[in-house]
């Protein structure tokens, strides 16, 4: 007498799960009959058995179908390789990588001429980093770095071509009246900037 | 708010609920259509989204996607659904910027707070992607369904399409497979909390980082993996790029717990449907049965699959990993041919 697995009233993939469970519990050669009441489950179980080289007999009845087969000697075993484990980066909901925040056209406090040279050097070095930032946000006098006439525009252009977003504070652009002279960058508002800064992504401020 | 389990409303969810690919393909070609030289991509190439040229360096990407719940929590359903809808823009190398909500919600059967949470989840994900949701449409219907219609922009010269794979490209996949299996297992209470949480995290993850890396390396062919499973989407790419694809099954990234779930018989119906769609064009050589079924598992908000020039492949992989996409793998390569896939 075949063992009965009654899957009536179940939807995919539960009938297959019950079938598989019974196969694992049984010895090779034992007969199992699975009863299902929907055509999708029937089709999927048949396909599963066929793919695993198991022959079966199907009986169609008015309200249900039964599939009878003998448990094979061998069936696919779970892959024993250790499963890799890798969670999404620590803060999964934010852009990993980092944002560079520039709050001035110069780098560091002290001589402004030196500060300008340092900023220019910083921007061109960014491109050589192994991990490049996802975005550069400029506010206050840092927006002048994106001016067509500035000696940093070309570098920022290159950075932008590498897919790194350059965001300019709109209020600052308007304050300095630069809107028509920008070579690069996307003008944004304080809400956006505040959101980006509070999103938990790492912020680098030279 | 009382906890409401959205998964209790559906038998299948997410991209599992798609109409079979073959059926859809039989309907679309017969439709009358407007001819306009500015239509750069429409559904005839089975791409991720439509693309319309506005000027020489500006084109719009339009796409929509919606589905029934794929997880228990409404806020997370909103997030996942939004990430999934927006993904089609990233898959084409574009930058999403506008969206509309598309919702069906049974206001008399489920507390309206649940709907509020779905919308809030979607809004938070849209903000993260720098996308403004500027409208929407809601119908009273059971079970609930949600998604976005998304508009993105792209420089047409830098458009990334299904048909852009080149022989010699290495194929990189940026997210682990098995979300359909994990969600089905959640419904049957077969999955550990930890595995379920990891699957949810990946479904919530935007493909924006994958897209920025892809653009850096001048990828021309890519797609995102969703309802047709890895092999279904690979086949569409192989056909429209007129190439053959070989996949090394052993390299595929798979979510934790999924291999043993499949071995326990947890194979959603959509996987069988996808297998039927691809099997005439796919040759399997010594591929484990369980792994084969994972390759046809319908994904929700899956990763980008991109073809990268051989010499940049390792560098691209490294950058994807550095960006936190730690499951990124080189899974195969593109060869000369005409739409066949070989898995070994």
Q: Tell me how far apart the alpha carbons of residues A20 and A30 are, in angstroms, rounded to a whole number.
A: 14
pLDDT tens digits for range B132-142: 999 999 999 99
Residue A29 contacts B, CB cutoff 8 Å:
no
**Tell me, what's the pLDDT at A94?**
36
Indicate the pLDDT class of residue A88, thresholds 50, 70 and 90: low
Contact B326/A86, CB-based, under 8 Å?
yes
When pLDDT is averaged across residues A63-91 and rounded to a whole number, the result is 67
DSSP state of A147: B
Flag whether pLDDT at A81 surpasses 50: no
Q: Tell me how far apart the alpha carbons of residues A193 and A179 are, in angstroms, rounded to a whole number.
A: 18
Q: Tell me how far apart the alpha carbons of residues A3 and A17 are, in angstroms, rounded to a whole number.
A: 16
The residue to which tokens 């998304």 are assigned: B150
**Tell me, what's the pLDDT at B266?**
96
Cβ–Cβ < 8 Å for B205, A88: yes
Tokens of B330: 């080189």
Residue B156's H or E segment, with its range, is none
Flag whether pLDDT at A84 surpasses 60: no
Query: Domain A3-70 is classified in which CATH homologous superfamily?
Result: TusA-like domain (3.30.110.40)
Indicate the pLDDT class of residue A87, thresholds 50, 70 and 90: low
Flag whether pLDDT at A117 surpasses 90: yes
Q: What percent of chain A has pLDDT over 70?
A: 88
**Tell me, what's the pLDDT at B12?**
59
Q: Which residues of chain B from 169 to 198 reach within 8 Å of chain A, CB to CB?
A: 176, 184, 188, 190, 198
Contact A16/B267, CB-based, under 8 Å?
yes
Distance from the Cα of B35 to chain A's closest Cα (Å) equals: 33
Q: Tell me how far apart the alpha carbons of residues B231 and B299 are, in angstroms, rounded to a whole number.
A: 11
Of A17, A85, A195, the CB nearest to B265: A17
Q: Tell me how far apart the alpha carbons of residues B267 and A44 are, in angstroms, rounded to a whole number.
A: 9
Tokens of B214: 């892809």
A194 vs B173 pLDDT, higher one:
B173
Flag whether pLDDT at A75 surpasses 80: no
A93 Cβ contact list (under 8 Å, min separation 6): A199, A200, B128, B204, B205
Chain B residues close to A7, C-beta within 8 Å = none
Of A43, A84, A97, the CB nearest to B323: A97
Lowest mean pLDDT among A175-179, B9-13, B212-216: B9-13
Quick one: closest CA in B to A42, which residue? B269
Distance from the Cα of B270 to chain A's closest Cα (Å) equals: 9
Do A98-204 and A3-70 have the same topology in CATH? no
Catalytic positions of B: 15
Residue B45 contacts A, CB cutoff 8 Å:
no
pLDDT tens digits for range B231-289: 999 999 999 999 999 999 999 999 999 999 999 999 999 999 999 999 999 999 989 99
Chain A residues close to B265, C-beta within 8 Å = 13, 16-21, 48
Least Cα distance to A144 among A106, A99, A192 occurs for A106
Cβ–Cβ < 8 Å for B201, B326: no
Phi, psi of B222 (to 5 degrees): -160, 165
With residues binned 3-state (H G I as helix, E B as strand, rest as coil), the percentages for chain A, rounded to 5, are 35, 20, 45
**Tell me, what's the pLDDT at A160?**
85
When pLDDT is averaged across residues A91-110 and rounded to a whole number, the result is 74
Q: Tell me how far apart the alpha carbons of residues A120 and A123 are, in angstroms, rounded to a whole number.
A: 5
When pLDDT is averaged across residues B183-189 and rounded to a whole number, the result is 93
Q: Tell me how far apart the alpha carbons of residues A17 and A51 are, in angstroms, rounded to a whole number.
A: 16
Residue A77's H or E segment, with its range, is none
Cβ–Cβ < 8 Å for A59, A65: yes
Distance from the Cα of A188 to chain B's closest Cα (Å) equals: 11
* CATH architecture for the domain at A98-204: 3-Layer(aba) Sandwich (3.40)
Residue B218 contacts A, CB cutoff 8 Å:
no
**Tell me, what's the pLDDT at A133?**
84
pLDDT tens digits for range B309-323: 998 999 999 999 988
Chain A residues close to B198, C-beta within 8 Å = 87-88
**Tell me, what's the pLDDT at A97?**
67
Chain B residues close to A80, C-beta within 8 Å = none
**Tell me, what's the pLDDT at A79?**
47
**Tell me, what's the pLDDT at A1?**
77
Q: Tell me how far apart the alpha carbons of residues B59 and B160 are, in angstroms, rounded to a whole number.
A: 12
Q: Tell me how far apart the alpha carbons of residues A153 and B264 are, in angstroms, rounded to a whole number.
A: 59
**Tell me, what's the pLDDT at B322?**
87
Distance from the Cα of A140 to chain B's closest Cα (Å) equals: 22
Contact B204/A92, CB-based, under 8 Å?
yes
Q: What percent of chain A has pLDDT over 90?
A: 55
Among B257, B259, B269, B273, most A C-beta atoms within 10 A, so best to mutate, is: B269
Environment class of B188 (CB within 10 Å of its CB; exposed 0-12, middle 13-18, buried 19+):
middle
Flag whether pLDDT at A118 surpasses 60: yes
Flag whether pLDDT at A62 surpasses 70: yes
**Tell me, what's the pLDDT at A45?**
94
Chain A residues close to B322, C-beta within 8 Å = 96-97, 130-131
Distance of CA B326 to the CA centre of its chain: 18
Residue A76 contacts B, CB cutoff 8 Å:
yes
Contact B259/A20, CB-based, under 8 Å?
no
Domains of chain B: 6-158 (3.30.1330.10), 162-343 (3.90.650.10)
Residue B253 contacts A, CB cutoff 8 Å:
yes
Of B213, B253, B268, the CB nearest to A13: B268
Environment class of B37 (CB within 10 Å of its CB; exposed 0-12, middle 13-18, buried 19+):
exposed
Residue A158 contacts B, CB cutoff 8 Å:
no
DSSP state of B314: H
Flag whether pLDDT at A172 surpasses 90: yes
The residue to which tokens 């999924």 are assigned: B258
pLDDT tens digits for range A130-153: 777 888 999 999 999 999 999 999
Indicate the pLDDT class of residue A68, thresholds 50, 70 and 90: very high
When pLDDT is averaged across residues A4-15 and rounded to a whole number, the result is 91
Locate the DSSP E strands across B201-280. Answer: 221-224, 243-247
Q: Tell me how far apart the alpha carbons of residues B243 and B239 are, in angstroms, rounded to a whole number.
A: 7
**Tell me, what's the pLDDT at A92?**
36
Task: Compute the half-sphere exposure of residue B305: CA atoms within 13 Å on the CB side of its CA.
Answer: 34
The sheet with strand B145-154 has its strands ordered as B39-41, B50-55, B58-67, B145-154, B95-104, B132-139
Kindly list the domain boundaries of chain A, sorted by start residue: 3-70, 98-204
pLDDT tens digits for range B83-100: 999 999 999 999 999 999
């Amino acid at each position: 007498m075949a063992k009965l697995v009654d899957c009536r009233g179940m939807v995919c993939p539960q009938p297959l799960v019950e079938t598989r469970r019974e196969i694992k519990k049984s010895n090779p050669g034992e007969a199992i009959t699975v009863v299902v009441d929907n055509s999708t489950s029937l089709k999927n179980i048949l396909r599963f058995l066929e793919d695993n080289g198991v022959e079966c007999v199907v009986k169609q009845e008015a309200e249900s179908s039964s599939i009878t087969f003998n448990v094979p000697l061998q069936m696919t075993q779970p892959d024993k390789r250790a499963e890799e484990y890798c969670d999404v980066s620590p803060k999964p909901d934010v852009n990993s990588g980092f944002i560079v925040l520039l709050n001035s056209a110069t780098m560091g406090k002290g001589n402004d001429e030196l500060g300008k040279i340092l900023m220019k050097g910083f921007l061109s070095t960014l491109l050589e980093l192994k991990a490049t930032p996802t975005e550069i946000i400029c506010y206050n006098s840092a927006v002048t770095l994106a001016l067509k006439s500035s000696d940093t525009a070309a570098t920022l252009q290159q950075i932008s071509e590498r897919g790194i977003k350059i965001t300019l504070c709109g209020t600052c652009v308007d304050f300095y009246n630069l809107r028509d002279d920008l070579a690069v960058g996307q003008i944004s508002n304080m809400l956006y900037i505040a959101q980006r800064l509070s999103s938990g992504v790492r912020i680098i401020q030279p | 708010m009382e906890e409401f389990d959205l998964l209790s409303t559906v038998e299948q969810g997410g991209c599992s609920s798609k109409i079979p690919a073959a059926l859809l393909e039989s309907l679309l070609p017969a439709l009358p259509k407007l001819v306009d030289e500015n239509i750069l991509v429409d559904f005839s190439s089975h791409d991720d989204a439509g693309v319309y040229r506005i000027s020489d360096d500006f084109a719009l990407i339009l796409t929509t996607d919606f589905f029934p719940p794929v997880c228990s929590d409404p806020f997370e359903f909103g997030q996942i659904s939004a990430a999934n809808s927006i993904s089609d823009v990233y898959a084409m190398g574009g930058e999403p910027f506008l969206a509309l909500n598309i919702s069906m919600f049974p206001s008399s059967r489920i507390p309206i707070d649940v709907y509020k949470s779905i919308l809030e989840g979607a809004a938070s994900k849209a903000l993260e992607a720098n996308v403004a949701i500027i409208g929407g449409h809601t119908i009273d219907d059971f079970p609930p369904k949600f998604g976005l219609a998304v508009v993105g922009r792209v420089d047409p010269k830098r458009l990334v399409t299904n048909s852009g794979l080149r022989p010699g490209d290495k194929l990189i996949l940026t997210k682990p497979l098995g979300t359909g299996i994990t969600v089905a297992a959640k419904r049957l209470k077969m999955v550990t909390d930890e595995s379920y949480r990891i699957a949810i995290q990946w479904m919530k993850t935007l493909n924006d980082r994958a897209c920025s890396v892809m653009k850096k390396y001048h990828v021309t062919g890519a797609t995102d993996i969703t309802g047709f499973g890895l092999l279904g989407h690979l086949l569409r790419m192989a056909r429209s790029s007129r190439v053959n694809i070989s996949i090394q099954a052993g390299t595929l990234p798979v979510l934790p717990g999924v291999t043993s779930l499949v071995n326990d018989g947890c194979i959603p119906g959509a996987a069988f449907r996808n297998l039927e769609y691809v099997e005439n064009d796919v040759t399997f050589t010594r591929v484990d049965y369980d792994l084969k079924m994972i390759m046809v598992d319908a994904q929700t908000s899956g990763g980008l699959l991109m073809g990268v020039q051989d010499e940049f492949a390792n560098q691209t992989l490294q950058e994807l990993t550095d960006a936190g996409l730690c499951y990124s793998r080189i899974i195969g390569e593109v060869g000369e041919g005409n739409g066949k896939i070989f898995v070994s």
